[in-house]
Amino acid sequence: MSNPNDYPQQQEVQRGQAFINQVYQKMSRIAQEFAAGEINRAQFHRLYDRYQRQIMTVAQMIAESDPTGWQEALSSAEAESTLTLRKRLAARAIGISIYDNRSGMPIETIGDFSIDAELIVPMLSSYREATAEIFHAGVRSTEMEDGSWLCFMSGAFTTLIILFSVEPSGNQIAMLDHMHRDFEIANADFLEHGYASPDQLAYPFYSFVSQSNIDTDDD
């Protein structure tokens, strides 16, 4: 004869197992998000680790003689929400610098691009050599000593250098690549002939840098 006290425990075991299945779905979803360029590696690693820990916590609790405490154990173990974690680890565009391909001189700097020119020049030269050898070599990214990332992308007239707080996602790179093409289209006369001054140009990057540096809080 079954003990009536066993029913609440059985229900909690079922709820715990259902929760574990949902977390496995989340793990698959972030793998897909990374493949699609929607999140960066830091976000993927931390979120995946978070989900692994959730599964281990719940599995351990429901395996014990009294599995009713798995929800409380899970909430106490997670001090940071998934949304907060995603936001905290997302890359922010700190600053952008645009260099003329012919002269090698900077045209404009947007945001806080606090990288020493003595460091930028050899890196830019190396990038240009690579793009000359490999047609449309694409974006080159490198991690700096402080954990920030520099990304180089070349256009017909200019090279765009972006300073990110951490490694950017594929979608962020794709957006900047599109903005770079629009920059060269909008300012084609100046870039080809130099008839205007840099402060008269149109810069599609303004909102991208300013929005990236706005702190957002969870609801």
Q: State whether 69 and 143 are in the same domain.
A: no
pLDDT value for 25: 95
Q: Which of these, 133, 134, 187, lies nearest to 160 by C-alpha position?
A: 187
Q: Which long-range contacts (CB under 8 A, 24 or more apart) does 76-85 make?
A: 77/53, 78/50, 78/54, 81/218, 82/47, 82/50, 83/218, 84/218, 85/43, 85/46, 85/47, 85/50
Domain presence at residue 203: yes
Of 89, 107, 127, which residue constitutes the final position of a domain?
Answer: 89
- The whole-angstrom separation of Cα 58 and Cα 51 is 11
User: Which one of 89, 111, 135 terminates a domain?
Assistant: 89
Q: Is residue 63 located within the same domain as residue 112? A: no
Looking at the fold, whether 83 and 97 belong to one and the same domain comes out as no
* Residue 189 tokens, joined: 């006369």
Q: Which domain holds residue 103?
A: 93-212
What is residue 62's predicted lDDT score, i.e. its pLDDT? 76
The amino acid at residue 119 is L
The segments of the chain whose pLDDT lies below 70 read: 1-8, 65-80, 117-118, 122, 127-138, 211-219
Looking at residue 138, its pLDDT comes to: 63
Find the Cα–Cα–Cα–Cα dihedral 188, 189, 192, 193, rounded to 10°: -160
- Report d(CA 158, CA 154) in Å as an integer: 6
Is residue 202 included in any domain, yes or no? Answer: yes
Indicate if 77 and 128 belong to the same structural domain. Answer: no
pTM passes above 0.85? no
CATH code for the domain in which residue 122 is found: 3.30.450.190
Residue 218 lies in a domain: no
Q: 85-138, pLDDT tens digit by residue?
A: 888 889 999 999 998 888 888 899 899 887 776 677 767 777 666 655 444 456
Chain centroid, CA 48 distance in Å: 15
